Copies of this chain bind each other. A is one copy, B any other.
């Protein structure tokens, strides 16, 4: 099973008027810094503060009436949680979200705010998939995966459609698109859209160091897993292994992936604050980090960088601003 450009275009039609068409922003200061023509796609301004609403709504809106009545369950550190909770609220579907106990407070509060029920679990001792499956079995509700689902991937891919179309409206053919990689749903959908509309455009990913399982998988040619002791401030990108569906798509579409450290991510968040005036969460900032560190080179190139989310606790953001991270 895979995802086609037509699937993504169908998702875009479903999302029309519901998802925000986030702007494609150009910063002369960033252009000068990187030596290219670089656009930002701030999904920080998407509903619920991250790209996740796109996939969640595309998935939930295709449930049958019977499935809707029985509700949905999802597991997520927060952005998918909020996306599913908001989509469920709009569609009047009951939602239960399985969240790690160390999820950022803002993400937990926002998920509750969209009316979802929350079940906490310990990320280091419990298995969230097993918990979700058990709840689904008990309640007869539908599990909504955060990335390994064709409708989720197609929904996230609408971001790629917008990038190519918005760049074209400005008369620009993009050489490179850079996106964060967690489970790989966003970049699988985005790369499918980008490659479908503009085959010569390269798609590059960025991952947190220690959680660069897709980068290592691309190198080895097979799905690699993370070290269980790895830690990162990029709470949105802490996935253990490339997805069954996302992996073959990403193996086919991606030109490469860069791994970035927490310190580099914090520096990029400060750059986004002081120069771009954008609030970006750690995981949302890894593609920008890869560009600013030169790990993905944009010199002389026309490129778009996805800022995939902005849901960061104010306390953590203050620490970043104060140089404590």
Q: Is A10 an interface residue (CB 8 A)?
A: no
CB distance from A266 to the nearest CB of B (A): 12
Contact at B276–A278, with CB atoms within 8 Å?
A: no
Q: Is A279 an interface residue (CB 8 A)?
A: yes
| Chain B residue contacts of A321, Cβ below 8 A | 314-315, 317-318, 321
Contact at B23–A47, with CB atoms within 8 Å?
A: no
| Chain B residue contacts of A29, Cβ below 8 A | 47
Contact at B310–A44, with CB atoms within 8 Å?
A: no
Q: Is A91 an interface residue (CB 8 A)?
A: no
| Chain B residue contacts of A317, Cβ below 8 A | 273, 318, 321
Contact at A27–B20, with CB atoms within 8 Å?
A: yes
CB distance from A292 to the nearest CB of B (A): 17
Count residues on chain A whose CB falls below 8 Å from chain B CBs: 29
Q: How far is the CA of A29 from the CA of B44 in the complex (A)?
A: 13
Q: Is A74 an interface residue (CB 8 A)?
A: no
- Give 1 or 0 for each of A264-294: 1 = CB within 8 Å of chain B CB: 0000001001111111100000000000000
Q: Is A322 an interface residue (CB 8 A)?
A: yes
| Chain B residue contacts of A180, Cβ below 8 A | none
CB distance from A148 to the nearest CB of B (A): 27
Instruction: Indicate which residue in B25, B49, B270, B274 contacts A277 across the interface (CB closer than 8 Å).
Output: B49
CB distance from A269 to the nearest CB of B (A): 11
Q: Is A42 an interface residue (CB 8 A)?
A: yes
| Chain B residue contacts of A27, Cβ below 8 A | 20, 45
| Chain B residue contacts of A276, Cβ below 8 A | 45
Q: How far is the CA of A85 from the CA of B277 in the complex (A)?
A: 20
In the complex, residue of chain B having the shortest beta-carbon distance to the beta carbon of A47: B28
Contact at B20–A23, with CB atoms within 8 Å?
A: no
Contact at A106–B279, with CB atoms within 8 Å?
A: no
Closest 6 CB pairs of A and B: A277-B310, A23-B23, A318-B318, A44-B277, A314-B321, A277-B279
